[in-house]
Structure 1
Amino acid sequence: MSDQPSRVDEDAKSFETLMQGVERHRHDRADIARPAADPDVLAYKRAAATREPERVIDGLSSEAVEIVESGEELLFAAPGIQLRVMKRLRQGHIPWEQGLDLHGMTVDEARDELSRFIRDAQRSGARAVLLVHGKAFSQAGRQPRLKSHVNDWLRQLHGVLAFCSAQPRDGGTGALYVLLRQKK
């Protein structure tokens, strides 16, 4: 029994040693701010801005965005979207009513088509749509630029409430289910 208290003291000293330099939280809320942009990406954006005037459609630009991986699942929900709705969307239980395939388009063409498609789908009262952006597997060693841009653009469009990667039957990580804001 006399061995037990010394073991507790050793554990306490070990814990104190491990916790050196750790500061106590001053608040109880999560920091949900977007992380600071990568300096290399910012430098690229500045250089691109000086080279040529940029076309902006519906507030969407073709400037450099954060690159996502081909097989990476995308997920976005605007504030206020219920978890139950997101779960149904991810499982493919909210039927999509219209679709758009962006394969083979340039970034500028895809931006124009996406903007027009979302506006038209909203006008027609569609609740959910399927958007195929592809995975860029056909271009060996190339990053999925279109997928990355679509990920960025959809987050900016006011008519988009949520989106997530589709089920394998609808294109998997090469497509998105997009939940649209309903017109009142």
Structure 2
Amino acid sequence: MSDHKLPADDSVISFENLMQDVNRHQHDRADIGRAASDQQSLDYKRAAATRETRQVIDGLSSEAAEIVESSDELLFAAPGIQIGLMKRLRKGHIPWEQGLDLHGMTVEQAREELCRFIHDGLRQQARVLLVVHGKAYSQAGAHPILKSLVNDWLRQLHGVMAFCSAQPRDGGTGALYVLLKRKSGKSGLP
């Protein structure tokens, strides 16, 4: 080991000076602490269940699985959807019959309105719906939370066969064309 002298000025602090208030560990076993009592565990589980119940309505969570960007095009097709049908939907060649604008709604309001809108569309045997979710441009630097949530919710809702971002004339990446399942016995698409 070489004799290396440190400068005498106060700007250099030795390792020993830094470690003077540190106490040496006296044993080699980890201290994992006491296990939580059964009551504490039960209270924690109840609180978690209450939080989950508040966040999930109609089977749809208020937390997005994946955050999408404002300019992202969304696309979803259930298994069995024909490519030609998806091309027609994406190009806006299948006219939408009903529309829903979610601008200005809270997450809870939007979730309830979207569920009701899809259920009503199915009951009325609508084929294509337009859902306007917006792009969150009004909040500088904000991610489009509603767009991300709608992307998740539509994938989970019964009767939604496919959806894709709309054509610019109908809202572009701030809106979706939603293809609904038809009840058997109804004639095919136009």
Task: Using structure 1 for the length normalisation, give the TM-score.
Answer: 0.71
Distance 1:83 1:76 in 2: 12
CA-atom RMSD, angstroms? 1.6
Moved over 3 A (4+): 48-51
Q: Equivalents in 1 of 2:61, 2:90: separation in Å?
A: 27
- Give the number of the structure whose residues are more often helix, by fraction: 1
| Separation in 2, partners of 1:49, 1:83 | 43
The aligned counterpart of 2:27 is: none
Deviation for aligned residue 1:51: 8.0
Cα distance, 1:61 vs structure 2: 1.5
Q: Please, which runs of 5 or more residues in structure 2 have no aligned partner?
A: 1-46, 185-190
**CA deviation after TM superposition for structure 1 residue 57, in Å:** 2.6
Q: CA separation of 1:168/1:109 partners in 2, compared to 1, >3 Å: closer, same or farther?
A: same
1:54/1:129 Cα in 2 relative to 1: closer, same or farther (>3 Å)?
same
Structure 1 alignment gaps of length 5 or more? 1-47
Instruction: Count matched residues.
Output: 137
Alignment of 1:21-100 (within 5 A): 49=48, 52=51, 53-100=53-100
1:85-137 deviation digits (Å, cap 9, x = unpaired): 00000000010000000001111110000000000011001000000000000
TM-score (norm 2): 0.69
Work out whether residues 107 and 146 of structure 1, in 8 Å CA contact, stay in contact via their aligned partners in 2. Answer: yes
Matches within 5 A, 1:1-184: 49=48, 52=51, 53-184=53-184
Contact kept in structure 1, 2:65 and 2:152, CA below 8 Å = yes
Per-residue deviation at 1:54?
2.1
Q: By how many angstroms is 1:58 displaced? A: 2.3
Letter in 2 for 1:146: L
Amino acid at match of 1:150: V
Aligned equivalents of 1:83 and 1:163: distance in 2?
Answer: 13
Mark the CA change 1:178 to 1:49 in structure 2 (over 3 Å): closer, same or farther.
farther
Quote the Cα distance in structure 1 between the aligned partners of 2:48 and 2:118. Answer: 27
Q: 1:110 to 1:49 in 2, by over 3 A?
A: farther
How far off its partner does 1:50 sit? 7.1
Secondary structure at the aligned position of 1:163 is classed as strand
